Each structure stands twice: as structure tokens, then as C-alpha cells.
């Protein structure tokens, strides 16, 4: 059920005749790095490093299968509660990949978008993040959204605050506020809502990820720990998505 990288992505909302539905936007909660390392008697940072390689495999799978947008929950707002050593390891790994791997993604036609509260990172990480966005802004093959210091509730709160400010300044009429207009104030305003959300490691929850945007997403939970995730797991998730009937509240098709 794979497609070539040159094939335009088919929206997950539209099932073509004789072809499986392909989600336009896949989002992934990458879970299990710590358990992967512990099972091997390794420090947690080894799991994060192995997880970074799984990220590369996931991006490659999204490109070759023709998915238009891939969002990765790379660092949640709750991750700041981890030990200082682990936070330092995570940010060091993030810094390395932003500095040394963005050019490779750019050559592959990947556009990088970053969402979340970057103010909590050091200035050099913020600079690298913005450089990555600027360098890849014109690319169209895949939009890669990195959720960094991101929380779904905080996203909704900041959107509500921006709506309130816009209403107070007269930019919008509160009487005209609806879901579509509100969505324009979210951090994901320039990408479609996810059609498919995948979580690894067997946990079955969203963990404060894209709470507004996931209202009608198909959810797939797999037992595999994130460092072991590869293109076969990606294909399996796409296959499960293709076999589901998405009704968006309507009656099932007869």
C-alpha cells in the first residue's frame, strides 16, 4: 500500500476508488526510549540517541509513502519535569540534530515547522530552530512539524488569549467566532489537522498532544518501543488507517 515519493498525497478525508486512503497528516507520539535503554542495561541517553535514528526512519517512510505532513512529539512541556541531567541530554541531542541534519532534510525537500514554547530553551537552540525553519521554508515535499516544549492545553490557552486580544482590538467580531476561525489562532494554523495519530510503547493516551486538532483523528497504539520503530511499523499504521471508516459524526455508509 505504499506510494512513490513523487505521488501527490491523497487527503485522508477522501477515499479514492480502488486505492487505500492515505492520511494527509500523520502525527506520532514517540514513546519508549527510556524503557528501551533500561531493557538493555544502558543509560537513558542511549535510548534517546536510538530514538533519534528512528526519527530518521520515520521521516524517510513519510516521504516515500507520499504523506504530506508529519508531526513528531519531540519534547513535551511536561518533559521539563525530568531530571536536569536527562533534560540536558535531550536538549544536547536536539541541538546536534538542528545543527548537523537540517541541510540533509532540506536536500530531501522537507519543510520544517516548529511549534511549542521555545522560550524555555537556551538561546542557541532557539536560534538553530529558527534557522532550520528559514532554511527549509520553500520546500514542499514534506512538512515536518516538530513539537518542542509543546502542550496541547497551553496551545488552546494561548489561542484563546490571542482571540481575546483580537476581539478587544477590533480585529475580529466575537459574534463571528467559530471553530474554523479559532483554529487560525492555534500554533498549527498553517497545517491540516492530523488524520492519524500513532503512539508507540503500548501506552494508550494522548499525553497533552494536539488536543484540539485530534478531535477526529484516527488513533493507533502499537506495542513497539520508539527506538525499534521502522518503515514496517509506519506501513502497518497506514494500513490500519485505510481500513477504518471515517464518518465525522455522520451515519455509517450503507
**Known binding-site residue numbers for substrate:** 32-36, 44, 48, 76-78, 80, 82, 199, 205-207
Chain centroid, CA 14 distance in Å? 21
Is the Cβ–Cβ distance between 189 and 13 less than 8 Å? no
Residues 6+ apart with CB under 8 A from 42: none
What DSSP line would sit under 73-120, residue for residue? EEEEGGGGGS-HHHHHHHHHHHHHHHHHTHHHHHHTTEEEEEES-GGG
**Starting at the edge strand that comes first in sequence, how are the strands of the sheet with 218-221 ordered?**
110-115, 142-150, 69-76, 25-29, 196-199, 218-221
Is the Cβ–Cβ distance between 231 and 61 less than 8 Å? yes
What single DSSP character describes residue 174? G
Catalytic residues: 31, 79
Amino acid at each position: 500500500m505504499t506510494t512513490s515519493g513523487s505521488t501527490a498525497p491523497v487527503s485522508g478525508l477522501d477515499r479514492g476508488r480502488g486505492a487505500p486512503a492515505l492520511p494527509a497528516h500523520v502525527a506520532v507520539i514517540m514513546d519508549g526510549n527510556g524503557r528501551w535503554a533500561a531493557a538493555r542495561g544502558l543509560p537513558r541517553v542511549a535510548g534517546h540517541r536510538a530514538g533519534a535514528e528512528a526519527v530518521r526512519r520515520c521521516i524517510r517512510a513519510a516521504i516515500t509513502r507520499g504523506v504530506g505532513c508529519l508531526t513528531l512529539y519531540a519534547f513535551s512541556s511536561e518533559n521539563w519535569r525530568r531530571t536536569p541531567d536527562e533534560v540536558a541530554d535531550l536538549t544536547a541531542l536536539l541541538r546536534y540534530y538542528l545543527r548537523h541534519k537540517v541541510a540533509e532534510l532540506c536536500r530531501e525537500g522537507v519543510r520544517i515547522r516548529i511549534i511549542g514554547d521555545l522560550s524555555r530553551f537556551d538561546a542557541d537552540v532557539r536560534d538553530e530552530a529558527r534557522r532550520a525553519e528559514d532554511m527549509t521554508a520553500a520546500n514542499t515535499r514534506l512538512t515536518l512539524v516538530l513539537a518542542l516544549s509543546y502542550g496541547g492545553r497551553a496551545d488552546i490557552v494561548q489561542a484563546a488569549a490571542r482571540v481575546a486580544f483580537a476581539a478587544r482590538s477590533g480585529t475580529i467580531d466575537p459574534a463571528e467566532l467559530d471553530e474554523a476561525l479559532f483554529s487560525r489562532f492555534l500554533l498549527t494554523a498553517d497545517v491540516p489537522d492530523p488524520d492519524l495519530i500513532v503512539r508507540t510503547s503500548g501506552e494508550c493516551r494522548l499525553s497533552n498532544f494536539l488536543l484540539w486538532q485530534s478531535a477526529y483523528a484516527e488513533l493507533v497504539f502499537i506495542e513497539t518501543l520508539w527506538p525499534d520503530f521502522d518503515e514496517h511499523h509506519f506501513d502497518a499504521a497506514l494500513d490500519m488507517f485505510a481500513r477504518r471508516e471515517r464518518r465525522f459524526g455522520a451515519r455509517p455508509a450503507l
